[in-house]
Structure 1
Amino acid sequence: MTLNRRIFLHQLGLGVAGLGLIGSLPTTLRAAPLRSFRLPRSLPEAQGVSSAGLLDFVNAVEAAKLNLHSLMVVRHGQVVAEGWWAPYAPDLKHTLYSLSKSFTSSAIGLAVAEKRLTVEDKVVSFFPNEVPATVSANLAAMRVKDLLTMATGHDKDSTGALRSDPDQNWVKAFLAQPVEHEPGTFFVYNSGATYMLSAIIQKVTGQPLLAYLKPRLFDPLGIEGADWETDPKGIATGGWGLRVRTEDIAKFGQLYLKKGIWNGKRILPEAWIEDATKFQIQSKGGSRPKEENDWLQGYGYQFWRCRNGAYRGDGAFGQYCIVMPEKDTVIAITSETSDMQGILDQVWKHILPGIQPEAIAAKPVVPLKQKLAALALPLPAGQATSPTVARVTGKPYQMADNSLNIKRVSLAFQNGSCVCTLHDDQGEHRVVCGLGNWKEGETDLSTVPLKLVPTSVPKETKTKLAGSGAWSDENTFTMTWRFIETAHYENVTCRFDGDDLRLEFQKSLAVLSNTKDPRPVLEGKLMGTVSQGK
């Protein structure tokens, strides 16, 4: 992950925090995927791809603990490998983080084709009522193209300033930022710039970004159920916040691979594809020399250039749409990793060498099919039960005053699962965890830390979740709550000692960075015969 991206996420205050609102999770809520169009399937060798190389890739990313959530490899338009690490699954959307930027760029390409704007248009021309009293020469010179290429002239990412604007007017806040460099000459990764592309789309079309893209891009590709986070005024965040399925990422990459043609119909102009994916400006990032660094290969219109003649859209924690024109191949990946370069390294090491010009005569490697069918993220380590269960099951614990406003906690073990019930100032909230498996449901946990902006996805009040728990020792029960349409999870540890309960939270980002979770450890006392419902 690049330094700028780390700064961006720090500014967003990202973390799975604020456990004040936990919802009821009694049943599996997974709906059947909407498949108005599925990519065709084929065996790897039939499309000239080595099953052994694919298997080596999967084994390598697992050995390196790169925490992939999904993988789809497309060759000659055919899916030759696909897999989801349970509890992630084909029908679940996944937050794309900055891979969203490539979709926003596509919207600009469509609007340019419709002659609603040009990349040479000045940014201030779209927002005459939001410009500062004094417009600097650099701000006046900033073009749509400079937003696209992350060359706005800002010295740092503007996202933090947008999110902290007291008037919640992100457009005005962006235009108020100092522009220290001549636009077009200085690259800095700037998600605020992509937000402005979204704002421009809404300005010139009268439609939010998602509504504009739906009939022009999503419907033709059969991408259904997509949603996008918005700013407080309802403008799509643009630079992050889109959620689609893994196969939708692959379809998007296939559209670009075919230079804007989908099922014989032109969706995007070929000239736009060329401009969007070629070297436009020297990028920054990573810690390796250029020949080993996929962040120093150059930047296009919200696409990164890669080594090996490839390009990609990518998002924080390893959301990838990798397009390899020379190999007629697309790779879609979702994950939660702190080593984004590590995932790309394994693609170049294992998948790329196995892509051959013609079909491969060898039979597919049987273990690949078996491996892909059995992918799973690790469950909490330990036993399904403990002698402590009989003493604590269903009994409420009164928690000492805490900043999370959690008043009472109880754990009820029954029918191969654990129901964790939390009472706070908003009422009762339940999370169901499987014992030795995942139980799926929903949570009404506040979306702010998961979705980054206060308004989040419009009208969404619940987040899908899968839970599992185990006894790591006789008196310690640990739950993992995976927010399965995001990249993240958290561990919740309950330690019983006589009549005392200690409850500790650890978000996955703290795990990745080996840092302490900022939330307090909660202390509780057994309430004896006090009714749980009171």
Structure 2
Amino acid sequence: MTTRLHDRLDEMVEGGQVGGLHGVVAVRGGQPLLEYYGAGEDFAWNASLGVLEFGPETLHDIRSVTKSVTALLYGVALGEGLVPPPTEPLLRQFPQYPDLAADPQRARLTVEHALTMSLGLEWREDAPYDSPANAEIAMELAPDRYRYILERPILGPPGARWTYCGGATALLGRLISDGTGRSLPQYGQAVLFAPLGIDGVEWMTGADGVASAASGLRLSPRDLARIGELVLAEGAWDGQRIVPADWIHAMLQPRLQTGWGEQYGYQWYIGSLQHHRLATGMGNGGQRLFVLPDLDLTVAITAGNYDDPDQGRTPLTMLERIILPAMA
């Protein structure tokens, strides 16, 4: 099967049907199914790294797949009693902003509204990610990123509508750091990456030195796939409990509809493909972590189609036309 998959992938690469593909690792039942590396220009956020020949050890921006990893870390910290449960008021966790907490509408915000990106606050990330018109960039440029997020104009009641919001994930990152007494990279290394045997990790930071909970991780596709395997195993790895199983279940529970039809859980997209349940971590440029529990399958994809309106085509083509047909 592996040879057939490689041959099919080579045909599609040569035919230009999976443009910008940098790497893919597919694992089924703990066994490697497909592994491929290409070449192309890559970036660390907006800094060009030049044209690279990718390989098993090459780190790659996973962009907003970082959000899904942050959700796993929140679950670990929650299991340790270090962060508030989803039902807790959000502004109570930020006592440095009593003026915001005094607003009755903002006082209704809970941690779950951050987990589900349903804060009801104005937030737009449709501008390029090198423009201050993009809310995530404006957040990074703000003198206080957390005040910037929490004082956005109120557009509607919390919990009513999903709106893509990297700021929501930044709030979760702050709760993790405050609760654990460690930076996000330090905590992630101790409770997630090291137990999974992941050695090569970079977590990029903003100008204030704070690691981006929304988009800062750089991992190899192999290690990204390992995180997907952990989710498939309901948080267990090599006989060790890393993430509480009940958090995995809660995290992947569909809660709100996105703007394009899929549903959203806690920082993961939830849907189905060819009648199979599908949980997805999704990042700019075609970064994907697909988890298909029915097939015991995880697929990690890295690509270089940053800010391309059609950036989702390559990972979906990989999954629909190359990997899933081999499952029959």
Both proteins in one fold, TM over 0.5:
yes
- For 2:311, the equivalent position in structure 1 comes to 340
The 8 Å contact of residues 202 and 235 in structure 1, kept in 2 or not, is answered as no
Structure 1 moving runs of 4+ over 6 Å: none
Q: Deviations over 1:295-330 (max 9, x none)?
A: x22011111123321111111001111111111111
Measure, in 2, the Cα distance between the counterparts of 1:323 and 1:58. 23
- For 2:122, the equivalent position in structure 1 comes to 155
Shift of 1:125: 1.1
- For 1:419, the equivalent position in structure 2 comes to none
- For 1:84, the equivalent position in structure 2 comes to 37
Measure, in 2, the Cα distance between the counterparts of 1:131 and 1:195. 19
TM-score w.r.t. length of structure 1: 0.53
Measure, in 1, the Cα distance between the counterparts of 2:254 and 2:198. 28
- For 2:111, the equivalent position in structure 1 comes to 144
The 8 Å contact of residues 91 and 100 in structure 2, kept in 1 or not, is answered as no
Q: Secondary structure at the match of 1:132?
A: helix
- For 1:304, the equivalent position in structure 2 comes to 269
Unaligned runs of 5+ in 1: 1-44, 286-295, 357-534
The answer to whether 1:243 aligns with 2:218 is yes
The 8 Å contact of residues 116 and 256 in structure 2, kept in 1 or not, is answered as yes
Measure, in 2, the Cα distance between the counterparts of 1:332 and 1:134. 40
**Letter paired with 2:141:** S
Q: How many residues matched?
A: 296
Q: Secondary structure at the match of 1:128?
A: coil
The 8 Å contact of residues 54 and 350 in structure 1, kept in 2 or not, is answered as no
**Letter paired with 2:113:** D
- For 1:352, the equivalent position in structure 2 comes to 324
The answer to whether 1:323 aligns with 2:323 is no
Measure, in 1, the Cα distance between the counterparts of 2:92 and 2:77. 16
Higher helix proportion = 2
- For 1:68, the equivalent position in structure 2 comes to 21
The answer to whether 1:177 aligns with 2:152 is yes
Q: Deviations over 1:213-242 (max 9, x none)?
A: 111111010111312122333322100011
Shift of 1:155: 3.2
The 8 Å contact of residues 62 and 287 in structure 2, kept in 1 or not, is answered as yes
Shift of 1:345: 3.5
Q: Secondary structure at the match of 1:350?
A: helix
Q: Secondary structure at the match of 2:257?
A: coil
Q: Deviations over 1:1-49 (max 9, x none)?
A: xxxxxxxxxxxxxxxxxxxxxxxxxxxxxxxxxxxxxxxxxxxx3xxxx
**Letter paired with 1:319:** Q
**Letter paired with 1:152:** L
**Letter paired with 2:312:** Q
Measure, in 1, the Cα distance between the counterparts of 2:270 and 2:291. 10
Q: Deviations over 1:72-120 (max 9, x none)?
A: 1101101121111141111111111101001111111011101122111
- For 2:130, the equivalent position in structure 1 comes to none
Shift of 1:348: 1.4
The structure 1 residue matched to 2:72, chosen from 77, 102, 106, is 106
Q: Secondary structure at the match of 1:150?
A: coil
- For 1:123, the equivalent position in structure 2 comes to 90
Measure, in 1, the Cα distance between the counterparts of 2:302 and 2:180. 31
- For 1:255, the equivalent position in structure 2 comes to 230
- For 1:281, the equivalent position in structure 2 comes to 256
Shift of 1:146: 0.9
The 8 Å contact of residues 229 and 237 in structure 1, kept in 2 or not, is answered as yes
**Letter paired with 2:270:** R
**Letter paired with 1:181:** G
Higher alpha-carbon deviation: 154-163 or 218-227: 154-163
Shift of 1:259: 0.7
Q: Deviations over 1:384-425 (max 9, x none)?
A: xxxxxxxxxxxxxxxxxxxxxxxxxxxxxxxxxxxxxxxxxx
Cα gap change, 1:135/1:329 in structure 2, threshold over 3 Å: closer, same or farther? same
Cα gap change, 1:322/1:301 in structure 2, threshold over 3 Å: closer, same or farther? same
Percent identity of paired positions between Structure 1 and Structure 2: 30
Cα gap change, 1:61/1:274 in structure 2, threshold over 3 Å: closer, same or farther? farther
Measure, in 1, the Cα distance between the counterparts of 2:152 and 2:99. 9
1:212-251 matches, cutoff 5 A:
212-251=187-226
Shift of 1:138: 2.8
**Letter paired with 2:151:** A
- For 1:268, the equivalent position in structure 2 comes to 243
